[in-house]
């Protein structure tokens, strides 16, 4: 019986560590790019995608277990969550040259 309780404690601890890692990643991105805003997208069984847009236009994404976890992580990190993709936020995004090249390869491969 002790094995079952140890496994449960380990699973809870791992989920907490994952959440702390998510918060740390969001904080790190925001600090490195002069602040950030987030848009949270539900992606089914996978959970939720957090798209972070830095004040300098650089963007990145991270995944959380669900939209509630994503919102909590953004709140703990001090990053505002936008309700939808607003035009101003999209205009602020600056895709890297590597992203443009990878998108071009996908189109050419079809």
Q: Can you tell me whether residue 94 is helix, strand or coil? A: coil
**Position 33 pLDDT exceeds 50:** yes
Sequence spans of domains, the chain: 5-108
State residue 76's pLDDT score.
94
First to last CA, the chain: 55
**Position 11 pLDDT exceeds 50:** no
pLDDT one-digit tens code per residue, 36-79: 999 999 998 889 999 999 888 888 889 999 999 999 999 999 99
Number of alpha carbons in the 13 Å side-chain half-sphere of residue 65: 11
Phi (first) and psi of residue 93, to 5 degrees? -70, 135
State residue 15's pLDDT score.
56
Is the model's pTM score more than 0.75? no
State residue 102's pLDDT score.
65
């Amino acid at each position: 019986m002790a094995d079952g309780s140890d496994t449960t404690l380990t699973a809870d601890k791992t989920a907490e560590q994952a959440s702390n890692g998510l918060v740390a990643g969001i904080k790190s991105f925001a600090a490195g790019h002069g602040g950030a805003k987030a848009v949270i997208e539900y992606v089914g069984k996978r959970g939720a995608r957090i798209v972070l847009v830095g004040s300098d236009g650089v963007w990145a994404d991270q995944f959380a277990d669900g939209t509630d976890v994503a919102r909590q992580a953004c709140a703990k990190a001090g990053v505002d969550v936008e309700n939808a993709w607003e035009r101003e936020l999209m205009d602020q995004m600056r895709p890297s040259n590597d992203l443009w090249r990878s998108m071009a390869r996908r189109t050419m491969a079809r």
